[in-house]
Structure 1
């Protein structure tokens, strides 16, 4: 569950389950909060699962398991995927080299199974994997003033500049690691990681000290990432081949073999995948899974949809056939065809571009 339920409740938060973890849904007025994040800066507590990987062979072991190159330098990280033999995503993750250990951030529901799988496969390698989800709290800081916000409260360190790099410093008297993240909301972004017992003063500092920041929950996070064109694990990524998602930031095509690598490389070498993610402007809000048609031909499905606060209209992401027929698009809403217009991603341009913005070559 959230580390700070009573604190969030004092801010009039409502809660929901995400990946089996209780998180803040909204603090009320989510559209107003959304605009505040887009215009200035906001703070959200994220419910990651966390693994700690130690041992002399930790970097080599994790690097051999995932789709991207795991950095061997302290203070550096990567976004990576764990694939099955068919090249489909079992989980995504962020892997950070923290000196004598790797910190692996996963969707909360994936951490335990991943730790068990990796620990069972270490054989004679010097690797130890444990679940440490309850040891840490993580707060995302997003918005065009996010860098200014971090600079106003971080001591003993500068704000990290390179994506997925981190610096160690202090917020007040509390030690933290500040990660420059990959702009999934389409804005400047950081994660602030601290020990779980230090979460309350860190959250208070981020919201109330220096440049003030609005607290926001997962409902706002989902509308922000949707406007930014960022695929998310639960709605777009899980179970799909990464080529279809345009997740080039998660793939190192020059690294050695890993499970699923042959499938990914084969699709890459033949020119394009069979399907791709696109943005749709729609007249009415469809449900996830709604069928997309080009004329009378079924060409895909909606992965998720929302009412965009910035566009003041419904928007959707859909997985559709690569070669769409030259015909008007419609989406099924309550059994009826509703007009849909393919729209370039991102739907809204913010202060930064999401590293997960689908890219096809």
Structure 2
């Protein structure tokens, strides 16, 4: 059951927590200002045992050996071709590595990890049922009795990573997300205090504006480069892991076949295209929308994965029923991304000054 289900205006999201409480725009402002918390409904997988970090390091994309107690990072599980299969936010408390993933991915991730244990001293558990994940931004106070806290590294390029995003000012530079993992009892106690809350619609709008990728932006062809995920989830100098050859080859010698863009959507008809909507140019499909929301400053926005060759200046269309919604692109991953000696820096389109 959603932690804040008893609050006035509660409307459930498909994931279970609140989509909103009647005022998504106001909830965004409160959330980003550090005046509210949001129940994220993430899955929680734990890995314990003395071999946990060296083992996770050997099978995922991030450098995890030597991860300091309480330090936060992010890692990906790739297939042999470098395509993203799982993604996890990682923090180690000194005896347990905590992996936070999308709710629907927790059980598959735990099951896959179990198949990879062999004779190593590790234990894997899916703790999603008895723990709650609460998101907040700088300015807010941590709830009582936090089990573990993950601090999003998205605000800068992680050591060993690489940022493809165009422009000098990255909108993720002021992304200060913290995720607190608490027991259901602690979450219920917080709810009883009447603490201000926001829904997932508010969080999604802020995530899109920060160009922050998650597993919800992934399809069966996604490689990390396409979403600029080398910024936070890939270490380019670590040892071998499944999919590393593709990561290195595309980054050093080639170009990702697709790239993520932010779309500024025409809201004059009051229609917001849903994730999965085809993105078209002159009637031909050139990509797919992966996320959309109404942002409190930018208006209707979305993330889309499009063909690498698509002209960044082209005006795109998305069809919802009988309504055609036009969209202007804002470059995130430039067409020339990869082949690292020749990464162009393109200006941001329609940038909004952020205080």
Per the alignment, residue 302 of structure 1 pairs with: 289
Aligned counterpart in structure 1 of residue 116 of structure 2, from 101, 121, 129: 121
- Is the aligned partner of 1:149 residue 2:140? yes
Aligned-residue offset at 1:256: 1.0
Aligned counterpart in structure 2 of residue 340 of structure 1, from 324, 327, 338: 327
Equivalent residues of 1:178, 1:191 under 8 A apart: yes
Distance change >3 Å, CA 88–CA 124, structure 1 → 2: same
Per the alignment, residue 177 of structure 1 pairs with: 148
- Is the aligned partner of 1:46 residue 2:46? no
Report the secondary structure of 2:14's partner residue. strand
Per the alignment, residue 138 of structure 1 pairs with: 133
Q: How many residues were matched structurally?
A: 314
- Is the aligned partner of 1:264 residue 2:247? yes
Q: Normalization by structure 2: what TM-score? A: 0.78
After TM superposition, the structure 1 = structure 2 runs for residues 221-240 of structure 1, keeping only pairs within 5 Å, are 221-236=203-218, 239-240=221-222
Aligned counterpart in structure 2 of residue 77 of structure 1, from 72, 79, 82: 72
Contiguous gaps of at least 5 residues in structure 2: 156-171, 333-347
Report the secondary structure of 1:10's partner residue. coil
Equivalent residues of 2:312, 2:329 under 8 A apart: no
Per the alignment, residue 12 of structure 1 pairs with: 9
Equivalent residues of 1:52, 1:101 under 8 A apart: yes
Matches of 2:241 and 2:258 in 1, distance apart? 23
Per the alignment, residue 202 of structure 2 pairs with: 220
Per the alignment, residue 211 of structure 1 pairs with: none
Aligned-residue offset at 1:183: 6.0
Q: Normalization by structure 1: what TM-score? A: 0.77
Aligned counterpart in structure 2 of residue 193 of structure 1, from 165, 181, 184: 181
Matches of 2:53 and 2:61 in 1, distance apart? 13
Aligned-residue offset at 1:66: 0.9
Equivalent residues of 1:278, 1:343 under 8 A apart: yes
Per the alignment, residue 276 of structure 1 pairs with: 259
Equivalent residues of 2:264, 2:327 under 8 A apart: yes
Equivalent residues of 1:96, 1:104 under 8 A apart: yes
Deviations for 1:268-317, whole angstroms, at most 9, x for unmatched residues?
Answer: 12242121111222325434333334456543232233333312x32222
- Is the aligned partner of 1:89 residue 2:84? yes
